[in-house]
């Protein structure tokens, strides 16, 4: 059987030059070597179309000078600065491969005991790694998948920003109005945000009657339906509040700004969610994944955005490895760990997506629940799984299921439904 390394080595044609690229914001460092590791040229080009055209021109000149059949680029995939060059090369039909920055760092430190580190050295190491087959086979997303990935990344950022603002809001309320979260379980609700935008200080609330307080909030926000019972309970709590009275004016201004930010963030999340739903509905693969009971539009959007076209994978193991949820073993001096944790050498966004999806499936999908029960309750000699291990295994099962559904272009059917149909 041909190994992965052997298959990768065949992707570097004989007689080709290798151009290692260390991308940066202003200038990219480039080192051109032959397959005998002889360095032919070192130079830097601007991170612009003019610089990219210069890069190709110098590459052609090196090919003519050395009599090479072609050139292949090895780009260090650190951060996001490699993407523009990669898409430029793909448009021109020029082959390139991506080098993992962690692999490059370890390789460089192992070769250079004096810890030599500069842009040209990184570019040269990237070219050497390509020559030995230590590269990543990456396909740039296009069309709907590119739109879906951009929208899902925006959704993740908005959710994180909202969570950060909400935690800051709770921290401020703990000092100014500790009883607030006892009345409102969700400080980001419509009634809670309306109250925080207008009158968050307990002393000011206590100085009004209950009807005056309710009318004040209603006057500022007439559109949303406010929970009057909650407002009256908050008025009663303000009478005996132990909140700090120093610096209340500045805190009330910050709370008002946070409330406006949370309201705007909620609207932005809803807008991006509508975009995600529209993109998933326009894809045939989305229809197959939505047939699995327990998967939402956002989860399906996350899976397709992080994985790209599932038909381009050779097997489901590649999906699990991409997520970094594959179990690994650790052995030293004949001693092994009793458990096999996740490798976590994959995309953290994809791993978060399948983890949250697995929790939802274990709650709402009877097939996954029965499958998980069997893993938890099997005999001791068969290594029963713990709660978190079950969630991780369910995430891997979801990836295998998604690959099978899209590969076979069929919808998901519950086991009992399949038996009735047969």
Q: Which of 78, 89, 72 has its CA nearest to residue 35?
A: 72
Tell whether 378 is covered by a domain: yes
Query: Which of 217, 248, 277 is where one domain is finished?
Result: 277
For residue 253, the enclosing domain spans 147-277
According to the model, what pLDDT value does residue 219 have?
Answer: 78
Query: 301 and 262 in one domain?
Result: no
> Do 156 and 243 have their domain in common?
yes
- State whether 167 and 248 are in the same domain: yes
- Are 77 and 176 members of one domain? no
Domain CATH code at residue 202:
1.10.287
Do 89 and 151 fall into the same domain?
no
Is the same domain home to 111 and 175? no
Q: Is 234 domain-assigned? A: yes
Domain boundary among the residues 86, 106, 140 is at: 140
Shared-domain flag, residues 268 and 291: no
In a domain, 266, yes or no: yes
- DSSP character at residue 67: T
Q: How far is CA 107 from CA 39, 125, 131, 135, in A?
A: 18, 8, 13, 12
Q: Is residue 333 part of a domain?
A: no
pLDDT means per 10 residues in the chain (422 residues)?
Answer: 77 92 95 92 95 96 93 92 94 93 88 80 94 86 92 95 94 90 88 86 87 82 74 89 86 90 94 96 93 94 93 91 85 66 86 94 94 91 87 95 94 64 36
Judgement on whether residues 155 and 204 belong to the same structural domain of the protein:
yes
Please provide residue 246's backbone torsions phi and psi, each rounded to the nearest 5 degrees.
-85, 135
Q: Do 179 and 72 share a structural domain?
A: no
* 79, 106, 140 - which closes a domain: 140
Structure token pair of residue 105:
């760092």
* pLDDT (0 to 100) of residue 333: 65
Query: Are 369 and 399 within one domain?
Result: yes
What was the pLDDT predicted at 17?
Answer: 95
Q: What are phi and psi of 40, to 5 degrees?
A: -100, -30
* Residue 244, domain member (yes or no): yes
Claim to verify: residue 221 and residue 254 sit in the same structural domain = yes
| pTM for this predicted structure | 0.85
Q: What is the pLDDT of residue 417?
A: 46
| Rounded Cα gap, residues 272 and 110, in angstroms | 45
SS3 75: strand
Q: Are 206 and 238 in contact (CB under 8 A)?
A: yes
Give a yes or no: residue 330 inside a domain. no
403 touches 316 (CB < 8 A): yes
Q: In Å, how far from its chain's centre is CA 67?
A: 44
Number of domains present in the structure of the chain: 3
- Do 153 and 126 belong together in one domain? no
- Name the one residue in this structure whose structure tokens are 């800051």: 168
Is 248 inside a domain boundary? yes
Q: Is residue 422 part of a domain?
A: no
């Amino acid at each position: 059987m041909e190994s992965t390394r052997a298959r990768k080595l065949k992707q570097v044609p004989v007689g080709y030059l290798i151009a290692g690229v260390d991308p940066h914001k202003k200038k990219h460092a480039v080192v051109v070597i032959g397959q005998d590791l002889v360095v032919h040229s070192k130079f830097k080009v601007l991170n612009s179309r003019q610089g990219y055209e210069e890069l190709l021109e110098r590459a052609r000149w090196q090919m003519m000078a050395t009599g090479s059949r072609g050139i292949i680029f090895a780009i260090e995939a650190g951060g996001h600065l490699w993407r523009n060059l990669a898409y430029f090369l793909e448009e021109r039909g020029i082959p390139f491969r991506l080098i993992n920055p962690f692999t490059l760092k370890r390789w460089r430190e192992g070769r250079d005991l004096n810890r030599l580190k500069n842009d040209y050295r990184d570019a040269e190491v990237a070219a050497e790694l390509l020559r030995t087959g230590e590269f990543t086979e990456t396909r740039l997303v296009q069309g709907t998948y590119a739109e879906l990935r951009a929208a899902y990344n925006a959704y993740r950022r908005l959710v994180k920003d909202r969570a950060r603002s909400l935690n800051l809001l709770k921290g401020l309320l703990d000092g100014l109005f500790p009883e607030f979260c006892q009345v409102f379980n969700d400080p980001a609700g419509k009634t809670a945000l309306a109250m925080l935008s207008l009158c968050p200080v307990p002393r000011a609330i206590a100085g009004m009657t209950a009807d005056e307080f309710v009318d004040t909030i209603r006057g500022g926000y007439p559109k949303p339906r406010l929970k009057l019972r909650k407002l009256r309970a908050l008025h009663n709590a303000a009478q005996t509040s132990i909140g700090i009275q120093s610096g209340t004016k500045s805190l009330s201004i910050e709370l008002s700004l946070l409330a406006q930010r949370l309201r705007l963030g909620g609207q932005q999340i809803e807008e991006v969610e509508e975009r995600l739903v529209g993109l998933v509905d326009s894809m045939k693969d989305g229809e197959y994944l939505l047939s699995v009971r327990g998967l939402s539009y956002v989860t399906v959007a996350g899976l397709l955005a992080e994985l790209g076209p599932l038909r381009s994978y050779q097997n489901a193991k590649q999906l699990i490895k991409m997520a970094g949820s594959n179990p690994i073993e650790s052995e030293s001096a004949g001693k092994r760990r009793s458990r096999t944790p996740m490798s976590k050498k994959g995309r953290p966004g994809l791993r978060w997506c399948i983890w949250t999806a697995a929790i939802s499936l274990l709650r709402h999908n009877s097939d996954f629940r029965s499958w998980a029960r069997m893993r938890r309750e099997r005999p001791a000699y068969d290594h029963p799984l713990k709660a978190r291990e079950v969630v991780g295994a369910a995430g891997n099962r979801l990836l295998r299921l998604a690959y099978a559904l899209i590969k076979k272009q069929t919808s998901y059917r519950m086991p009992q439904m399949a038996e009735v149909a047969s």
